[in-house]
Amino acid sequence: MNVRSHVIVDAAISPYRRGEIPLAMPFIDSLPDNSVTLLDKGFYGADLLLSLQNSGINRHWLIPARKGLKYTLLDEEESNDMLIEMKVSLQARKKNPSLPEKWQVRAVTYEVQGKQKTVFTSLPRTNYDAKAVAELYHERWEIELGYRDIKSSMQHKAQVLRSKTVDLVYQELWGLLLGYNLVRREASQAAVEHGRMPNEISFKYACQFIASQLKVMSKAISPGNTPKRLKSLRGDLSILFIDKRPKPNRPRAVQMSKTRYPVNRKAAPLK
C-alpha cells in the first residue's frame, strides 16, 4: 500500500499455511524504483530485505529491529545512528545459497513517549539523518488506517466474510480490494486537483459518495460523458477533506468473541 495515497499497489491471497515472507517475495518485482518500503517486524529476514535493496534502482527498506540480535559495531562507538554487521543464518543461506555470510544494516534509535525504539534500514546516512528515518517509519501506521477503512467502512465491522466456498472467498476478497482501490484512486485524483494530500479525504464519506455517483453514471450517463462527469465528481469531493489528527493512543487488545452466556467482568480468578 502506498502510505501517502492509501492506494493498494499489489496484493496476494493464499491459504493460512503459507507464511507472510514467502508470500511477500514476489512483490519485490513490482516495487517502484527510488522508493522506501516500510515493513512490520513480521517481515524481518535477510533474504527478503537484501533481495529488496539489491533489486531495481535505489530501492530501500525500513523495519523495526529485532531484540536480542548479536552484531558487530562497525563505527568507532555506539550511538543513536550506527552501522552494524550481523551474520546471516545457516537456515537462510541453505534456502538461498547466494546470500552472503554477513550483512550490514543501519540502526537508528529514537525515543517515543519515554521508550527507546530502534529501526533497521538500508537508507544511507548521507541522504537521510536519524530524525528523518524515525519520522518516516511512523508513516507505516497509514497502512493500518487503510486496512481499517476496508474492515470498518466497507465491511461495516463484519467478523467474517459472506462467502461459504474457497473460490467465492477469493472472489469476495479481490472484489473488496478492487472496490477499495476505485474509491482511493478517485480520492487521490481529487486531492491532486485541490492541492491536498490524498489521505486527507474521509474514506467513509468518499466511499458512500463515489459509490452512489458511479451507480448513476452507469445507468444515466453515456460513455462519452464519463470523463466530464468524473472531473465534476472530483470537484465535489472537496467537501470531504478533513484535518489530519494525531494517532490515538489505543493499545491493541484481543476482541472478545460473541457468546450467548452472560460475562461477569468482575468475577474472581480461577484457583
Q: What is the pLDDT of residues 55-95, one digit of tens each?
A: 999 999 999 998 888 999 999 999 999 999 999 999 999 99
Task: Show me where the domains of the chain are located.
Answer: 20-141, 160-240
Amino acid identity of residue 202, one-letter, is S
List, in sequence order, every residue forming a beta bridge with 72; answer none if it has no partner.
85
**CA separation for the pair 184, 207 (Å, rounded):** 8
CA 158-202-2 angle, to 5 degrees, is 85
What pTM value is reported for the model?
Answer: 0.77
| Structure confidence by residue, pLDDT tens digits, 240-258 | 666 655 555 666 666 666 6
Which candidate, 71, 169, 87, 75, places its Cα nearest to that of 125?
Answer: 75
Residue 183 near residue 210 (C-beta atoms within 8 A) = yes
